[in-house]
Amino acid sequence: MPQSSRHPDIDGRYAWLRLILSILIGTIGSVGMWSVVVVLPEVQAEFAVDRASASLPYTMTMVGFAIGNVWLGRFADRAGIVVPLLLATAALFLGYIAAAVVTSIWLFAILQALVGFGAAATFGPLMADLSHWFDKRRGVAVAAASGNYFGGAIWPILMQMTITSEGWRFTYAVIGIACLVGMLPLALMLRRRAPHVGAPAGTPQVAPPRQIDLSPRALQLLLAIAGIGCCMAMAMPQVHIVAYCVDLGFGVARGAEMLALMLVGGVFSRLASGFLADYIGGVKTLLIGSVLQCLALTAYIPFDGLASLYIVSLVFGLSQGGIVPAYAIIIREYLPAHEAGQRVGLVILATIVGMAVGGWMSGWIYDVTGSYAAAFLNGIGWNVLNIAIMLLILWRTRLPRAATA
């Protein structure tokens, strides 16, 4: 049966309008991932704590973000995306307003968990929801809808304008109000349910899942392990590039510039990977990105000059940006549509664990060995695990009968 005869909105004008709204919501709500990093020096100075204590709010932000991706994703599977987005808007508003008046680093950290929880709805759950509205251009839509890279490019600049003149507390209060005013009307514009929500039993899905010789539970577990592996590798340059540049004698500013290059490359990579996934599928797209990321990690070891590090950092960003959104595409290709939010959330949780542990482990390896060379090798090993899992999934995927014939 032709796609359009089942649901006219799939890949239609409304789907593209929904994509634009999702990008705006993701760009606004992703401030919850970046704001605590920007205000960390001011918070540390005001509360008079050490760097470890000042880093606790970031850790709590990631904890809230991880929980929110799973819980809100499951909620979206059952009731649609609007209610999770409204809960996220309330969490961001209350979290920022309350954090602006606290007098304890511990209370600030707890409220950052609430902020991270709110930001989560604008990542995994929003990507999963949008995937239901696209078939032919699902890869592009899912990649573009993950607005955290756009938010990472915009919010730190906007925050610096008020932090220098009004302080971090005023900035936090303004962000809370901006989230409420910006996200509330946009969320209400997404009230139309996804095609599979509320459909009668036996109704055909937007696209039947691909056949694979693995149970849904086994495939979910493999994707989670793959998510840990790719992000254990990804964390090494992203978390430690500044410190690596300092060790090489290039200074903090050069390291910060290389980190910015990674993020810029990640934006282009995310969009390009989305286009590619629409033609070759999510698994092959992720495999290509993972192989390129592994090669870039390997290049960091011999090429440690200033110019070569700029080039390698850009290549690393161009390779890794599309990896995480590809998991959402794979889940929609292989697993039931009505479970997408929860399953995407679980994989996002695994990638967060990989980033957190990978960043810490790279630092621990440096402390033990006195060099980042072994840390890069550790990242390469985890990256190879990710590649192996993608090859296994391809191997166990059943070809359509027409293709085998």
* Lowest model confidence (mean pLDDT) among 143-147, 173-177, 341-345: 143-147
Phi then psi for residue 139, to 5 deg, are -60, -50
Residue with tokens 């990710």: 386
Same domain, 182 and 276: no
Give me the pLDDT at residue 400, please: 57
What's the pLDDT tens digit per position in 183-196? Answer: 999 999 998 877 65
Average of per-residue pLDDT across 66-88? 90
Give me the pLDDT at residue 291, please: 96
* Lowest model confidence (mean pLDDT) among 89-93, 124-128, 199-203: 199-203
Same domain, 167 and 244: no
379 domain-assigned: yes
Short-list 175, 173, 128, CA closest to 34: 175
Same domain, 172 and 241: no
| 204, pLDDT greater than 70 | no
Average model confidence (pLDDT) for the chain? 84
Same domain, 260 and 166: no
| 110, pLDDT greater than 50 | yes
Same domain, 164 and 236: no
233 domain-assigned: yes
| 303, pLDDT greater than 80 | yes
Give me the pLDDT at residue 205, please: 47
How many structural domains comprise the chain? 2
Give me the pLDDT at residue 32, please: 87
Of 295 and 157, the one with more pLDDT = 295
| 178, pLDDT greater than 90 | yes
Same domain, 178 and 283: no
Q: Please say which residue of 145, 168, 188 terminates a domain.
A: 188
Beta bridge partners of 397: 212
Residue type for 394, please?
L
Q: What is the pLDDT confidence band of residue 51, given thresholds at 50, 70 and 90?
A: low
Q: What is the pLDDT confidence band of residue 333, given thresholds at 50, 70 and 90?
A: confident
How many Å apart are CA 234 and CA 232, to the nearest integer? 6
Short-list 359, 348, 358, 361, CA closest to 65: 348
| 275, pLDDT greater than 50 | yes
Same domain, 223 and 181: no
CB atoms within 10 A of CB 104: 9
Q: What is the pLDDT confidence band of residue 207, given thresholds at 50, 70 and 90?
A: low
Q: How many CA atoms lie within 13 A of 396 on its CB side?
A: 15
What's the pLDDT tens digit per position in 222-268? Answer: 999 999 999 999 988 887 887 788 888 888 778 778 877 887 788 78
| 403, pLDDT greater than 60 | no
Give me the pLDDT at residue 393, please: 94
Average of per-residue pLDDT across 385-403? 82
| CATH number for the domain harbouring residue 261 | 1.20.1250.20
Burial 334-361 (b: 16+ CB within 10 A, else e): bbebebbbbbbbbbbbbbbbbbbbbbeb
Same domain, 36 and 99: yes
How many Å apart are CA 51 and CA 325, to the nearest integer? 32
Give me the pLDDT at residue 197, please: 54
| 339, pLDDT greater than 70 | yes
Same domain, 98 and 223: no
8 Å CB contact between 229 and 388: no
Share of the chain above pLDDT 70, in %: 90
| 361, pLDDT greater than 80 | yes
Give me the pLDDT at residue 201, please: 44
Give me the pLDDT at residue 56, please: 79
Residue type for 335, please?
L
84 domain-assigned: yes
| 31, pLDDT greater than 50 | yes
Instruction: Measure the N-to-C terminal CA separation of the chain; round to a whole number of Å.
Output: 22
Same domain, 356 and 252: yes
Of 395 and 44, the one with more pLDDT = 395
What range defines the domain where residue 104 resides? 9-188
Q: Please say which residue of 145, 171, 188 terminates a domain.
A: 188
8 Å CB contact between 93 and 111: no
